[in-house]
A and B are shown apart, each in its own frame.
Chain A
Amino acid sequence: MKELILTNHAIARGAYEAGVKVLSAYPGTPSTEIAESFVKYDGVYAEWAPNEKVALEVAIGASIAGARAMACMKHVGLNVAADPLFTAAYTGVNGGLVIVVADDPGMHSSQNEQDTRLYGKSAHVPVLEPSNAQEAKDFVKLAFDISEDFDTPVILRETTRVAHSHGVVELCERTERENRPYADNSKKYVMMPANAIGRHIAVEERENAFADFVNGMAINRAEYTNENEIGVVCGGVVYEYVKEALPQANVYKIGTPYPVPVKAIGEFAKKVKKLYVIEELEPFVEETLKANGIACVGKELFSVQGELSVAKIRQAFFGGEIPAAESVPVRPPVMCAGCPHRGVFYVFNKLGLTVNGDIGCYTLGAVAPLSALHTCICMGASVGTAHGFKKATDGKGKNVAVIGDSTFLHSGVTGLINAVYNQSGITLVILDNSTTGMTGHQQHPATGKNLKGEVAPVVLLDELVKACGVKDLQIVDAYDVVAVEKAVKAATANDEVSVIIAQRPCALLDKKLKKPAVTVRDCKNCGKCMKLGCPAISRGEKGIVIDTAQCVGCEVCAQVCPFKCIQKENA
């Protein structure tokens, strides 16, 4: 049966067909849909882990026990999971182990443009990269076979344009698999020095064997057109662009960016007029070829930044102008009408605080007019950076940390333990909207539901904070701007570590919330409410106008209006 499906769904389907029994993941664009799709199949286990490190450890445990297992994450998630990755390369597997990592060239929804292929090389783990949905499904199954045949974890790398594209996919049946037998084998699975020294030898032997093997793999293939034409080495979505932009070119399609099939490409190079490498981000394949004495042109023509496209490739070879976008006002993403984060950032701005931020919808607090988020590094970093900021300013820095509930559980809690232990006296505001918002509303350990939507035990944020040793804990309603301001003032005035949990479910989720829109009477046009950056509020000729279709009645603007011109309907 053929269906038009999202590549991430095709990956889930591939895992299902390959007999995967255990999948663990943490949400991250553009990888989130894999776990959400996989959990819908019968006879499988899938979960949201609190972070990618745990997700990979879960998959490693399942693999050692004998099941086929998968962990899924976005590219920066692999940084978190890098610790288990590098040593799982030493232990090898029992049941097949595949790690799906979604890179984001162009940073559609990410904080950097790191290239996962380099992790493969660094960790000595094979990397497969599909070009489209059908290949993604096929490559997942192939990755599991490689994992078991070569006793290695395998990374399946995809990029945003592959992950979030739909393609026509042929669906097959699941192959049920018994767990491979498990036997104690401490030399293989206990990585202390004496054993790891032996395993490092095994890693090198395996890598050499696989580096030979890739030259004969069907997913690495030459497509010849004419020996008088150029040859292009490419993979992933770039292969699709090249086929479109340079139909006359000979193409070498790479399915295993690590290890690069050097011998096969060397043969290909001899049969074409001139060799080019076209790849997004790092010159990974290019440098490998050049290091092996294969002359090629690559980043001389293309940037290491952003995405490539059919138009960019055509321009590089044939010149000409790419039609440019007209200059029109930008439409950046904004916090939704009724977003419970808005009032908190309004208070930060009003109090002139330096805000050490984190990863989530609330990163949008950096954007005008709220303009109240001043650092954002990675998941969980708000707490550690606030601590360092305080230490560097001898405790005088007017800074606070802000983090979401899901991100706090991901990796913020360790930063909080550090702040208590090392006594920086920071203030941490946890924006508890009871969901993982930015990635599209996933459950986490404090929501009371699991990936399947079933009722699950709840990690209580307030109890967790207290257990970290925090004495000054306040819980406020995020919509109560006065209470938020009072809490922040009190917390920042003392010298101890203070935590404020600002509670309110995400406005997109809380269907009970939709109260009547607020109304405006006798607006003085002072513009105070405009500082909230609410998309439901705009300026009309005689003062501000509330878009009743968007307004959810959170009444944050009503609290901010100094003349009480904004009121509840019928008030």
Chain B
Amino acid sequence: MMNILISGVGGQGTILASRVLGKYALLCGMDCKISEIHGMSQRGGSVTTHLRMGEKIYSPVVWEGGADMIIAFETLEAARVKHYLKADGILLVNEEKILPMPCITGAAKYPEDIREKLLADCKGAKFVNAKEIAKQAGSEKTTNIVMLGGICKLYGFDKAVMEEAVVSCVPEKFKQLNLTAFRMGYEQV
């Protein structure tokens, strides 16, 4: 059984990432459930998608201390959901920092030592500049697929099957771009 959390900021493309992982589960013949939150929080708020795959899945939601891996699209969002990670879990963080409104207005401060703390607290933590890799692959918009390439390698998902899942979840004309992004993510993480 695999418990996965995908966290980010509304509008960062966490939904597509969960679609690809869900497709992967189906291609492997596994049961799968995904839980996501729509509506108000999508307007620039924190968003977390829960994804579970295995022989038989009951809860669509991962529990605190139960995640095998967390894919965080933003650094502060990684810290926000870190307590969901198992002691030996993998935490892949996109280095990007997006200021939340309280930090923009000065009511709160974006923690400066956040990266060091995450690395100290989670032995499975790894940072990657996925946005930069995505740019090199051809488009910033493939940041989510770069992250999937990275997690595919770190966790040891079947690469060929994951590539098939990526291809089946993106429009025809973007297939090559996303495959490139996936492979660059896989190589560079």
Contact = CB atoms under 8 A, between A and B. Distances in A.
A323 B35 contact: no
Contacts of A164: 35-38
B83 A369 contact: no
A440 B38 contact: yes
B85 to A, nearest CB: 9
A109 B41 contact: yes
Contacts of B9: 331
Interface of A: 2, 4, 29-30, 32-33, 108-109, 132, 160-162, 164-168, 237, 239-241, 243-244, 309-311, 314, 322-326, 328-336, 361, 364, 367-369, 438-440, 530, 533, 535, 537-539
A361 B102 CA distance: 18
Given A4-B25, A4-B34, A109-B41, A329 B63 contact: no
B31 to A, nearest CB: 6
B119 interface: no
A331 B22 contact: no
A124 to B, nearest CB: 31
Given A168-B26, A331-B45, A333-B45, 14 more contacts: A4-B23, A109-B38, A109-B40, A165-B34, A165-B35, A166-B36, A168-B31, A325-B83, A326-B83, A328-B114, A331-B9, A331-B46, A331-B80, A332-B101
Contacts of B60: 132, 161-162, 165-167, 237, 240
Interface stretch (B103-111, B146-154, B155-163, B173-181): B103-111
A328 B40 contact: no
A334 B101 contact: yes
Interface string B47-87: 00000000000111101111000000000110111111000
Contacts of A244: 58-59, 63
A161 B60 CA distance: 7
Interface string B160-172: 0000000000000
A502 B19 CA distance: 38
10 contacts: A4-B25, A109-B37, A241-B59, A311-B66, A328-B76, A329-B76, A330-B102, A330-B108, A331-B101, A332-B101
Given A167-B33, A336-B44, A108 B39 contact: yes
B96 to A, nearest CB: 11
B10 interface: yes
B184 interface: no
3 tightest A-B contacts by CB?
A109-B39, A29-B39, A333-B45
B33 A165 contact: yes
Contacts of B40: 29, 108-109, 333, 438
B135 interface: no
B136 interface: no
B101 A324 contact: no
A331 B32 contact: no
B82 A368 contact: no
Nearest to A239: B58
A128 B159 CA distance: 42
B183 to A, nearest CB: 25
A530 B99 CA distance: 14
A539 B104 contact: yes
B43 interface: yes
A166 B45 CA distance: 22
A439 B76 contact: no
Contact of A330 (B37, B100, B106): B100
Given A311-B65, A333-B43, A361-B43, A538 B104 contact: yes
B188 interface: no
Contacts of B35: 161, 164-166
A166 B32 contact: yes
Given A329-B100, A535-B44, A240 B25 contact: no
Interface in B105-151: 105-111, 114
B90 to A, nearest CB: 17
A334 B40 CA distance: 9
A240 B114 CA distance: 35
A26 to B, nearest CB: 15
A368 B9 CA distance: 19
Given A109-B40, A244-B58, A539-B104, A323 B65 contact: yes
Nearest to B34: A166
